[in-house]
Chain A
């Protein structure tokens, strides 16, 4: 399998995070060197030692201290899976008070391929809060790819192979 490069998987505090290990495995099989990063709240939704062992990279969630060295290689592509309401809104507005958001805002400005898969419960209320479509629109305008199909998949639980397929389209075709 030809190496595709480094993929940052940014995982937020959503019940959809239970599928992160399976997606990591799938992405690795497709040739990605995966690094998992999570928001501080997201740490409660994933098994960090397991993911660190699977990927061979530490799972980062906090900004490093100024004197510490970078522990992750630079990314060639990013997937935000699952992306919460909170992270999507802060990202669109340029709020970088977590490491995950700092990375997302940086790579957005660099116009790198980014796919965001919201993990938001259908009919929870957050899915109909006007801020969400506004943020999704802004992110699309910045060149971010959004995979949000709650009409077809309740709670936007899109099959993993479909997510990987879209990710490959985004990264290979480098859709602007």
Chain B
């Protein structure tokens, strides 16, 4: 990705966590480079055991950082224009959502989240392994999404560990950078946003008439202004989480 104003390459941080899916990082690096990104890899301290650091340093031309620098040391990496967290662990997702930044990777993530920079997070761990049944995980995903992070977690589509292919991640990133897709930009998606039946229908991929009918039957949390149904985004999202939890309990 080239900056149209300066003509220089945009910088992408790839943040790798301690996951058996980390062997896919070099592939993502090479494909991002082919799409004209300047790539830097950062790992969590545990993540360093899962990647070949010298190989990634040769590939990117940057040191692979995993620890906070000392105050007197200079920054060795350029600032990022976008971040992909791949693979993201349960631990890093939850700490990130809670604002715990006791590793360099988390520090960077929390900083760039607050700066509203484009971030894609891809949690990779085995579906049904237990971690996906811990309620904290969905709570954290909701919080991150609310803050504008693009979480790609479609374990049904990418079984068994949600290893989303590099091409799809880069397409998604490209769309975010080009402003094609801003569904999770803070501002137009605040948790207190009031939605129409049509907007809720678009969110849930059903017919608007179905939404009204569910609301009438008290199957969906909404309220009536005159004779028009309105919905609070937060209430709808919490309701979805509740439904997800029920499915997990049944399984």
Contacts and interface: CB of A to CB of B under 8 A. Distances in A.
Nearest to A111: B133
Contact of B134 (A63, A65, A66, A109): A109
A94 B130 contact: no
Contacts of B98: 93, 95
B140 interface: yes
Contacts of A23: none
A138 B98 CA distance: 15
Nearest to A67: B49
B67 to A, nearest CB: 15
A158 B18 CA distance: 38
B102 to A, nearest CB: 8
Interface stretch (A79-87, A100-108, A120-128, A164-172): A100-108
Contacts of B95: 95, 97
A96 interface: yes
Contacts of A106: 129-131, 134
Contacts of B18: 63
Given A65-B49, A106-B129, A95 B100 contact: yes
A96 to B, nearest CB: 4
A109 B131 contact: yes
A110 B140 contact: no
Given A93-B98, A94-B94, A66 B50 contact: yes
A27 interface: no
B136 A94 contact: yes
Contacts of A66: 20, 49-50
A92 interface: yes
B242 interface: no
Contacts of B135: 138, 141-142
Contact of B137 (A63, A65, A94, A141): A94
Nearest to B126: A106
Nearest to B249: A111
B20 A108 contact: no
Given A63-B18, A65-B49, A66-B49, A97 B133 contact: no
A93 B132 CA distance: 13
Interface residues of B, number: 26
Contact of A108 (B91, B134, B249): B134
B140 A94 contact: yes
A11 B140 CA distance: 27
Contact of A63 (B46, B100, B132): B46
Contacts of B248: 109
Given A63-B46, A66-B50, A94-B136, A109 B94 contact: no
A109 B127 CA distance: 11
A56 to B, nearest CB: 25
B90 interface: yes
Interface in B88-103: 89-91, 93-95, 98, 100, 102
A91 to B, nearest CB: 9
A108 B130 contact: yes
Nearest to B93: A94
Contacts of B89: 96
Which of A92, A94, A105, A138 neighbours the largest number of chain B CB atoms within 10 Å of its CB?
Answer: A94
Contacts of B131: 96, 105-106, 109
The 10 A-B pairs at the shortest CB distance, nearest first, are namely: A94-B136, A109-B133, A106-B130, A109-B130, A94-B94, A110-B130, A96-B91, A109-B134, A105-B134, A94-B134
Interface of B: 18, 20, 46, 49-50, 89-91, 93-95, 98, 100, 102, 129-137, 140, 248-249
24 contacts: A65-B49, A66-B20, A92-B136, A93-B136, A94-B90, A94-B94, A94-B136, A95-B98, A96-B90, A97-B102, A105-B130, A105-B131, A105-B136, A106-B129, A106-B134, A108-B130, A109-B131, A109-B248, A110-B130, A111-B133, A111-B249, A138-B135, A142-B134, A142-B135
